[in-house]
Every structure is written in C-alpha cells, then in structure tokens.
C-alpha cells in the first residue's frame, strides 16, 4: 500500500526537459563580430594611409615618375602578397603630393626604397620628402586603385596663404582639401577605370591645393623626413627610464 502511494506521488513530478528540447539561441561576442567583419572585407592586414610631399626636378615627364613607382610597387608586392597599394599621386610642375594606402610593411618598404636612392644618387629626381601624417588602422580605403594626375596649366593665386597663416592653419587646410578630393574621387571614379587623368584641375579645381602649400610643407622642419622617421621607427622600445634606476646599486652579501 505504501509502495503504491509512493509510486503515485512520484508520478506527479514533472519530467525534466531534455537538453535537445531547449531553444538554442546563437550567442556571439564582439571579437567574433570583428573577425567576421574582417573576413567579409577580405582584410588580411591592418590598413594605413600616409601623406607625403616632395620636390621634383623641373620638367619631369609623367612616365618617368609613374614607371619608378609602378616598378617599386611590383617589386614590393612579391614579398607582401595581397597588400596592394592604392592612392593618388598629384604631379605639380616642381613638386608632388602623394597619398598611399597599404599595409605597414609595404609603406615601410616604400620609404626604404626612397632612402636607398637618396643615398646612392646625388641627383635623384625626388628631393626634400616630408611625411605629413600617417593614419593607422583605417577602416576602409578611399581609393580603389593607384591614380596619377598631372596638374597642368599655370594657376594664378590671389594671395599666398603660407605668408599670412600659421602652420596649424596651413596643415588644417591641407588635410581638409586632400580628404575632400579623395571623397570626390571615391564617388566619381569607377573601379577599373584609369581615374581622373590629367584633367583633374578642370574637373575639381576648388579641391586642388596650390603648389605653394606643398612646397611650404616640404621646407617645414616640423615634419619628419623619411630618414628621421625610419631611425625612430627602428629604435628599440625597451628604454630604461630614470625611475627604474636605483641608487645605490643593489649588492649581494
């Protein structure tokens, strides 16, 4: 009798729900989200953007300049597979403005190649190069390929802003105009085309920087030249601080 009663009482208990009957809600975290985002973008490396200015020899042919860079890009690409260079090279009569987008290793090799020519050739056509800014880990490219444009024709400027504005104002104008120009090309230039060509001064004259600003930045001592930058880049980061030095020196007994 007691056994039957015990059986009846135990039969009233709800059966535990099997694990496979529980609703399986997929859960993720921010790391998985970022990894999936990079995978969809086929992004195998961190992307950086570098702004350079430099002087060139007068009356340089466009082909001479483009051949130098294209051969260098091809050589670097053999050791940095998949790390293509995109950007914009503006060729003024006596100076250049160069925007480069690629991996850290590729940008390092570009600067190293310039230093090699500067040391070995006294009359290398690129002189007084300055690094204006390097943007690290940018989310996406502004340029789908590498474009070259020659700024043709004499351009008359009403005043020289480098004489009336501070360096901070000049560099602000430089960065603002170059980003506006990059966004303009991003919206108007189709992938696979040759780019704006040599008519950029007619298509977007208000977005082009005067050459006087480029030459002014080349002379400015506030910006690093490639040699100084590479020297700092290659320095060891393990530096002994004054706070780490103990005096008198500890001795063993």
Query: pLDDT digits over 200-229, tens only?
Result: 877 888 889 999 999 999 999 999 999 999
Q: Phi and psi at residue 62, in whole multiples of 5°?
A: -60, -40
The string of pLDDT tens digits covering residues 16-69 is 555 544 445 556 667 676 666 656 555 567 899 999 999 999 888 999 999 999
Q: pTM for the full model?
A: 0.74
Residue 106 has φ and ψ, to the nearest 5°, of -70, -45
Cβ density class 165-200: b for 16+ within 10 Å, e for less:
beeeebbeebeebbeebbebbeeebeeeeebbeeeb
**DSSP code at position 89:** E
Residue range 95-149, pLDDT digits in tens: 999 999 999 989 999 999 999 998 888 789 999 999 999 999 888 888 888 999 9
Output the CATH code of domain 43-230: 3.30.70.100
Here the tokens at position 77 are 């690409």
pLDDT tens for residues 233-250? 887 666 666 666 666 655
Task: Count CB-CB contacts under 10 A for residue 58.
Answer: 7
What's the rounded mean pLDDT across residues 150-164?
Answer: 64
- Domain-wise residue ranges, the chain: 43-230
- Report the half-sphere exposure of 170 (CA within 13 A, side-chain side): 21
Among residues 95, 110, 115, the alpha carbon closest in space to that of 146 is found at 110
- Cα dihedral sign, 183-212-195-115: negative
Flag whether pLDDT at 158 surpasses 50.
no
Stated as kind and residue range, the H or E segment containing 128 is strand 126-135
């Amino acid at each position: 009798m007691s056994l039957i009663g015990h059986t009846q009482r135990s039969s009233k208990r709800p059966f535990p729900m099997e694990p496979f009957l529980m609703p399986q809600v997929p859960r993720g975290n921010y790391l998985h989200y970022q990894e999936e985002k990079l995978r969809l973008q086929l992004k195998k490396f961190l992307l950086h953007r570098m702004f350079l200015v430099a002087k060139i020899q007068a009356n340089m042919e466009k082909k001479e300049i483009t051949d130098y860079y294209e051969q260098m890009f091809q050589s670097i690409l053999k050791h940095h597979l998949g790390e293509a260079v995109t950007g914009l090279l503006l060729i003024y009569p006596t100076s250049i403005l160069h925007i480069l987008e690629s991996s850290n290793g590729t940008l390092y090799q570009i600067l190293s190649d310039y230093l090699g020519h500067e040391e070995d050739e006294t009359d290398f056509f690129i002189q007084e190069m300055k690094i204006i800014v390097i943007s690290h880990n940018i989310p996406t490219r502004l340029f789908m390929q590498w474009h070259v444009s020659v700024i043709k024709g004499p351009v008359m400027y009403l005043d020289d802003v480098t004489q009336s504005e501070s360096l901070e104002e000049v560099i602000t104008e430089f960065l603002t105009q170059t980003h506006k120009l990059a966004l303009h090309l991003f919206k108007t230039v189709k992938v696979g085309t040759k780019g704006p060509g040599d008519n950029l001064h007619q298509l977007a004259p208000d977005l082009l920087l005067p050459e006087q600003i480029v030459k002014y930045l080349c002379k400015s001592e506030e910006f690093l030249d490639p040699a100084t930058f590479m020297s700092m880049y290659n320095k060891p980061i393990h530096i002994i601080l004054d706070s780490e030095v103990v005096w008198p020196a500890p001795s063993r007994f």
